[in-house]
């Protein structure tokens, strides 16, 4: 039996970077479904469930080691305002992100629902306990898939973005994958945002002031520097908008004074979705179109103006490093 009943699908160490400045054990949260807001939400109670992955005692411990290494690398970047110079810390920024994609509730529940649908089609009846155990096993499998995909981003360039004007939001599904290179092509959107797809951009906010970007250098260019790249307020707004569109239920931020602005962005995003606007492949909050899973399409050339579009290459899959 696992020692820790409460298991987090988003690390507490990650959310603490967005905690209220006077107390990093609490955070501001807005539920985009219900509209409920709290400026004193306990981080320990966020993004978790009872035995969410497993009842095995060693699984949480292994996740804890990975989370600790990632948190240390993030801490180095925030303190120095540069990419890590230590090689191990630098690679942690690449190796942990695929698992952050696969372990969140939004994606694991899609995988669980698809498995249950297949079982029901076969005419198999499960007890409530059997269904609960199966869903837990599927969540654990999703984590393992992410861990096995740890090298998939290593051929992407990485930069540290800094905002000096407004704060980055994060959410219960914080890794944004978009592919502006093919947004106007007749390619099924779910195929363009896989972590091995050509033309990919990946965004992960790591604090209210900093955000990571991973991008395909065959398609985009950015200034070559290990230091942080200052981006415009409009870029930050666009990235925050994508966080809202990508979230399952909740967005997080550190300052309650930002609530009015965040609520305004949420209303705009709701209208955009319900009106079939620029991002037609994302369903209502918490409902993912299975044809595209978690695909986002940005109305601009890129989500960030600092990323310059280069050339158009026929859609396909990058050659990525394997564990081979």
The per-residue pLDDT for 281 is 31
- Same domain, residue pair 60 and 79: yes
Q: Is the pTM of this model over 0.85?
A: no
Domain end (from 113, 148, 183): 148
- Same domain, residue pair 143 and 285: no
The per-residue pLDDT for 324 is 45
Structural domains in the chain (count): 2
The per-residue pLDDT for 243 is 94
Percent of the chain with pLDDT over 90: 35
pLDDT tens figures, 38-90: 999 999 999 998 888 887 778 878 888 889 999 999 999 999 999 988 888 88
- Measured in whole angstroms, the distance separating CA 243 from the mean position of its chain's CA atoms is 8
- Same domain, residue pair 163 and 299: yes
Query: Is 196 domain-assigned?
Result: yes
Cβ of 48: how many Cβ atoms within 10 Å?
A: 17
CA distances from 319 to 151, 152, 177 (A): 11, 9, 18
The per-residue pLDDT for 132 is 86
pLDDT, the chain, mean? 80
pLDDT tens figures, 168-183: 999 999 999 888 877 6
Query: Is 315 domain-assigned?
Result: no
* CB neighbour list of residue 285: distance below 8 Å, 6 or more residues apart: 32, 33, 247, 248, 249, 270
Give the angle subtended at the CA of 164 by the CAs of 161 and 170, to the nearest 5°: 60
Query: Is 37 domain-assigned?
Result: no
pLDDT tens figures, 110-146: 878 888 888 888 888 888 888 888 888 888 888 888 8
- Same domain, residue pair 170 and 142: no
Q: Is 296 helix (H, G, I), strand (E, B) or coil?
A: strand
CA separation for the pair 322, 150 (Å, rounded): 9
What is the torsion angle, in degrees rounded to the nearest 10, for the CA atoms of residue 81, residue 99, residue 273 and residue 234? 10
- Same domain, residue pair 142 and 164: no
Domain housing 247:
157-309
The per-residue pLDDT for 142 is 84
Domain end (from 129, 148, 167): 148
* CB neighbour list of residue 262: distance below 8 Å, 6 or more residues apart: 30, 169, 240, 244, 251, 253
pLDDT band at 278 (very low <50, low <70, confident <90, very high): very low
Query: Is 317 domain-assigned?
Result: no
Sign, CA dihedral 29-32-36-37, equals positive
CA separation for the pair 204, 198 (Å, rounded): 19
Q: Give the burial string for 11-24 (b: 16+ CB within 10 Å, else e).
A: bbbbbebbbbeeee
CA separation for the pair 61, 133 (Å, rounded): 20
Domain end (from 128, 148, 168): 148
CA separation for the pair 147, 22 (Å, rounded): 34
């Amino acid at each position: 039996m696992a020692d820790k009943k409460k298991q987090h699908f988003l690390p507490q160490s990650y959310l603490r970077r967005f905690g209220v400045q006077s107390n990093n054990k609490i955070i501001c949260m807005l539920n985009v479904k219900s509209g409920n807001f709290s400026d004193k939400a306990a981080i320990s109670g966020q993004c978790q469930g009872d035995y969410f992955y497993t009842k095995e005692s060693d699984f949480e411990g292994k996740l804890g080691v990975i989370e600790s290494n990632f948190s240390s690398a993030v801490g180095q970047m925030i303190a120095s305002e540069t990419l890590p110079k230590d090689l191990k810390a630098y690679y942690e920024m690449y190796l942990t992100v695929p698992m952050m994609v696969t372990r969140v509730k939004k994606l694991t529940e899609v995988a669980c629902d698809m498995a249950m649908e297949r079982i029901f089609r076969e005419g198999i009846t499960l007890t409530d306990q059997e269904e609960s155990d199966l869903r837990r096993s599927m969540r654990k499998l999703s984590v393992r898939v992410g861990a096995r995909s740890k090298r998939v981003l290593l051929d992407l360039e990485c930069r540290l973005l800094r905002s000096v004007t407004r704060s980055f939001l994060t959410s219960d599904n914080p890794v944004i994958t978009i592919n502006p290179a093919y947004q106007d092509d007749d390619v099924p959107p779910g195929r363009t945002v896989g972590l091995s797809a050509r033309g990919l951009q990946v965004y992960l906010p790591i604090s209210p002031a900093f955000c990571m970007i991973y991008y395909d250098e065959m398609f985009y260019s950015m200034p070559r520097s290990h230091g942080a790249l200052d981006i415009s307020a409009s870029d930050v707004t666009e990235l925050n908008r994508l966080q809202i569109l990508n979230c399952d239920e909740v967005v997080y931020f550190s300052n309650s004074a930002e609530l009015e602005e965040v609520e305004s962005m949420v209303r705009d995003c709701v209208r955009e979705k319900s009106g079939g606007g620029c991002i037609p492949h994302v369903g209502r909050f918490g409902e993912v179109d299975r044809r595209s899973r978690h695909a986002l399409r940005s109305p601009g050339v890129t989500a960030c103006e600092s990323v310059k579009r280069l050339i158009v290459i026929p859609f396909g899959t990058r050659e990525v490093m394997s564990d081979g």
